[in-house]
């Protein structure tokens, strides 16, 4: 899967900054990922995010998000970026879609520019700029870009209140540059959809990043006690096995060494065998153990870095070990600890 790193994004921002007289500088960026919508992109870390099943909205501040909604002129100005599908249209032609959108904005009384060529994720797209006034104190200028991928219309909209369109345009361009749209998962006829596919996607958060099979999804788990992060990677297609998962959590090490962590945890598992490996260049100890579930085998890896304990737990249906364990081991091998 195509993936834009934050380093590449920052380099892109610098290039854009050289071409802009008025700009807003963003110091910290973060990655957006969603297990349902499956879009990924980078955005300013301090911005506010709202997520729906097939739509994500990022706004420069909470007050600005409220102003876009209620148009209260007393609230602070800001900018907003929407990334969404549009399932309300019958056409799958993005050019026709953007023409219909332009016509609708004309009917609403906006001033509208001409339709122009554009790109989203390298795909051909069409864009149109429109602007107008909500009231005597609040003007809006916006840009909508649309494309089609896997027979789905996707659009990206950038809107700015009053005089903020140009100062924030570089930020929007950076978000658009980093955007990766969902990719349709294709399983060949006769292939078990539960078995991990060779093609992968990338997961990234503040603690780790790794590659995982494209027919799987990463989901957050509730954090208990002093756990800093907890996720599970499991099959997402119909027919997926709930007993084949990869769990990963992070918790404070409280100055414990890896050997001490292993010693304390060895009493908690019915260990069959032990081994050592490297994860993200760090020494790791793992146990193969018998879980309290019939026909399931498990393995747990321990890594200690930056005074944090990283645990990776593999669970797989024992009769299908050859289908799951090698694929899960590839996921572990791809882990990079931040």
CATH of the domain at 269: 3.40.1000.10
Q: How far apart are CA 318 and CA 300, in angstroms?
A: 16
- Percentage of the chain modeled with pLDDT above 70: 92
Q: What is the pLDDT of residues 297-307, one digit of tens each?
A: 999 999 999 99
Burial 114-135 (b: 16+ CB within 10 A, else e): eeeebebbeeebbbbbbbeeee
Q: Is residue 184 part of a domain?
A: no
Residue 165 pLDDT exceeds 70:
yes
In terms of domains, do 173 and 205 share one? no
Mean pLDDT computed over 197-212? 93
If you count them, how many residues does the chain have?
A: 338
Q: Is residue 295 part of a domain?
A: yes
In terms of domains, do 125 and 211 share one? no
Q: How far apart are CA 64 and CA 70, in angstroms?
A: 10
Question: Of 81, 37, 11, 336, whose CA–CA distance to 202 is shortest?
Answer: 336
**Structural domain harbouring 215:** 200-337
Residue 132 pLDDT exceeds 90:
yes
Query: Residue 242: what pLDDT?
Result: 95
Higher pLDDT among residues 307 and 1, named by residue: 307
In terms of domains, do 235 and 156 share one? no
Q: How confident is the model at residue 184 (pLDDT cuts 50, 70, 90)?
A: confident
* Poorest-pLDDT segment among 9-23, 27-41, 257-271: 9-23
CA 218 to chain centre: 10
Query: Residue 316: what pLDDT?
Result: 98
Residue 29 pLDDT exceeds 70:
yes
Q: How confident is the model at residue 254 (pLDDT cuts 50, 70, 90)?
A: very high
Q: In the 3-class helix/strand/coil scheme, how is 169-208 assigned residue by residue?
A: HHHHHHHHHHCECCCCCCCCCCCCCCCCCCCEEEEECCCE
Q: What is the pLDDT of residues 101-118, one digit of tens each?
A: 999 999 999 999 999 999
Helix or strand (DSSP H, E) at 334 = helix 321-334
In terms of domains, do 253 and 132 share one? no
Query: What's the number of domains the chain is made of?
Result: 2
* SS3 call for 270: coil
In terms of domains, do 217 and 104 share one? no
- Model-level pTM? 0.72
In terms of domains, do 255 and 293 share one? yes
Residue 90 pLDDT exceeds 80:
no
* SS3 call for 107: helix
Mean pLDDT computed over 250-261? 97
* Poorest-pLDDT segment among 58-67, 167-176, 197-206, 272-281: 197-206
Query: Residue 186: what pLDDT?
Result: 83
Q: How far apart are CA 79 and CA 160, in angstroms?
A: 4
CA angle 57/61/64 to nearest 5° reads: 85
Q: Is residue 189 part of a domain?
A: no
């Amino acid at each position: 899967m195509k993936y834009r790193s934050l380093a590449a994004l920052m380099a892109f921002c610098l290039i854009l900054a050289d071409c802009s007289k008025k700009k807003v500088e963003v110091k910290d960026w973060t990655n957006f990922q969603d297990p349902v919508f499956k879009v990924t992109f980078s955005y300013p870390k301090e911005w506010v995010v709202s997520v729906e099943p097939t739509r994500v909205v990022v706004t420069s501040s909470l007050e600005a998000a409220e102003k876009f909604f209620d148009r209260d002129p007393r609230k602070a100005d800001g900018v907003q970026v929407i990334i969404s599908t549009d399932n309300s249209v019958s056409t799958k032609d993005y050019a026709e879609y953007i023409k219909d959108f332009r016509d609708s904005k004309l009917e609403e009384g906006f001033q509208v520019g001409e339709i122009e060529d554009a790109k989203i994720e390298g795909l051909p797209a069409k864009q149109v700029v429109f602007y107008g006034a909500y009231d005597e104190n609040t003007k809006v200028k916006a840009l909508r870009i649309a494309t089609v991928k896997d027979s789905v219309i996707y659009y990206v909209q950038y809107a700015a209140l009053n005089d903020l369109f140009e100062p924030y345009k570089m930020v929007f361009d950076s978000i658009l540059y980093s955007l990766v749209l969902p990719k349709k998962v294709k399983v060949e006829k006769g292939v078990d959809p539960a078995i991990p596919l060779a093609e992968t996607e990338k997961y990234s958060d503040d603690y780790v990043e790794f590659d995982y099979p494209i027919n799987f999804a990463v989901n957050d788990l509730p954090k208990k006690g002093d756990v800093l992060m907890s996720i599970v990677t499991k099959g997402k297609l119909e027919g997926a096995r709930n007993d084949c998962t990869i769990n990963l959590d992070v918790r404070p090490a409280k100055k414990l060494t890896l050997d001490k962590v292993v010693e304390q945890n060895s009493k908690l598992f019915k260990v069959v065998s032990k081994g050592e490996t490297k994860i993200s260049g760090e020494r790791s100890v793992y146990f193969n153990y018998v879980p309290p579930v019939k026909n399931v085998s498990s393995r747990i890896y321990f890594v200690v870095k930056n005074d944090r304990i990283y645990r990776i737990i593999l669970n797989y249906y024992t009769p299908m070990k050859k289908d799951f364990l090698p694929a899960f081991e590839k996921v572990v091998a791809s882990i990079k600890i931040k």
